[in-house]
Amino acid sequence: MRFDDTRIGEVTRKIFGSICLFPVTLPPIRSSTRFVQLSRFTLGSLFLYVMNCVSANAQTWEPVTGDDELRMVFADTIFETTLSEGTVVTARYNADGTGEVTMVGQTFPREWRIDGDDLVCIKISGRFDCFRLEKNTSKDNEYRGTNLSTGEVVVFEVSSQGVARTGPVPASGVGGAAALSDEELAAKLANPTVPVMTIGNNFDYVAFKGDLSEANDQDAFRYTFQTVFPFKLRQGGSVFFRPAIPVLFNDPVPGAGGFDSVGVDLGDTGFDFSYGTTTDSGLIWGGGLVGTLPTATDDALGKDQWALGPELLLGQIGDWGVLTAILSHQWDISGGDPGVETNLTSLNYIYAFPMGNGWQFSAAPAITYDHTRPTDKLTLPLGIGVAKTTTLGGRIWKFQIQYWNYVKGSAAFSPEHQIRISINPVIEAPWNRRK
């Protein structure tokens, strides 16, 4: 039997070359006609090759220790990372122990300190996470940081201008030097005055009740597209435009012969145009206009009226969560059949209480009072739900499911139960990017 020693050498190098982090030359295998000689030479070469790899890898990274050395790497360094969908995250850490992380136009404060002889600790979501730094002995200005809580490792290279560009940021949700925690993101998105652009997708299932014949057998599916357009003002605060476009599936409409199921159609479009801000004490306030546009594609699904009125927002945010109330009123200003009026007061109450790791106990039902009804003017839902905010595919997402129980409504026909599933990606508004 004849062995092709050249081929063996090539295969050997391919297999064992993968265990090294940098090139190590494997001596070529010379021709031999004797199997024993070839085997000894090959096994000896492999042994030396593996030992070289182990020895070299052990010396590649060395710890960064000492207060001065750690500060030289970390203090006054700007960390940048680009997420997979193009969003840039920038972190600045100052020599005085302060810092900030910027993403989608929002700033998240940070604190940092040096613990012991070899740890840099960053305050993320109210607690300090510590990182051990190492430098690459074979490549100038390349470092890696290991999160002691999760074991995650991020490699970064510091330029001569003091800018560190990191590699892929682990998606654990705990945050890091150039990454945000799910808890930080969730707190921001729970505040309705934070100027972030979200693409709202609400999917609703509604079950009805009432004294009308067959009222208890009715249900409906609805989809509402609601995008938030934020515009940051130089003097502080932001202006928001929030259109809500509903698509109605098999919506039940009561008539003389019972119920008709109307079918895939647009409903009237709601919107608000308002100012909002949050003070240093956590007070949330704002106000503006709220209205309705007659966009319903079926007369049974709308009033064919233009409506407009004032809106007032008031709330409080803290480490415990956020509570917000949005009070609004609308009157008809144009259109509609004679004798058909709009005179509607609404109170949208929003709460979000953190449960850790980006999870929140949260809901946002709306109470309405229809002044045009002779009786049963009040519609009162009680809502519960959970929300999760996280980063997926380089983009911030907020997922939410809510259940509303209508404890008060029209005795003849009104909602009884409602389940809402929301899928809301966050994008960076180009007009709000920092110059």
Q: pLDDT tens, 246-269?
A: 999 989 988 877 888 877 899 999
20 or 291, which is more confident = 291
Cα distances from 127 to residues 94, 124, 174, in angstroms, run 19, 5, 10
Q: Is pLDDT of 88 > 50? A: yes
Helix axes 35-58, 5-17, angle to 10 degrees: 20
What pLDDT sits at residue 38?
43
The answer to whether 182 touches 354, Cβ cutoff 8 Å, is no
Q: Does the pLDDT at position 401 exceed 50?
A: yes
State phi, psi for 49 to the nearest 5 degrees.
Answer: -65, -50
258: left (phi over 0), alpha (psi -120 to 50) or beta: left
pLDDT of residue 322: 95
User: For residue range 341-362, what is the model confidence (pLDDT) as tens digits?
Assistant: 999 999 999 999 999 889 999 9
**Radius of gyration, alpha carbons of the chain:** 31
Of 40-44, 206-210, 331-335, 346-350, minimum mean pLDDT range: 40-44
pLDDT at 154 over 90: no
Taking every pair of Cα atoms in the chain, the longest distance, rounded to a whole number of angstroms, is 107
Q: For the domain with range 183-432, which CATH number is right: 3.40.50.720, 2.40.160.40, 3.90.320.10, 3.40.50.300? A: 2.40.160.40
Count CB-CB contacts under 10 A for residue 132: 16
Residue 77 clears pLDDT 50, i.e. is over it? yes
Which stretch of 43-57, 99-113, 129-143 has the lowest confidence by average pLDDT? 43-57
Long-range (24+ apart) CB contacts under 8 A made by 147-150 are 147/172, 147/174, 147/176, 148/119, 149/174, 150/174
Q: Considering the domain 63-179, what is its CATH architecture?
A: Beta Barrel (2.40)
Asked whether the predicted pLDDT for residue 125 surpasses 80, the reply is: no
Q: Which of 93-107, 115-129, 161-175, 380-394 has the lowest mean pLDDT?
A: 161-175
Cβ(179)–Cβ(313) under 8 Å? no
Q: Could you tell me which of 364, 369, 385, 376 has the C-alpha nearest to residue 409?
A: 376
CA 63 to chain centre: 34
- Mean per-residue pLDDT for 270-299? 95
* Residue-level pLDDT at 323: 97
Query: CA angle at residue 422 from 420 to 427, to 5 degrees?
Result: 160
Q: State residue 19's pLDDT score.
A: 43
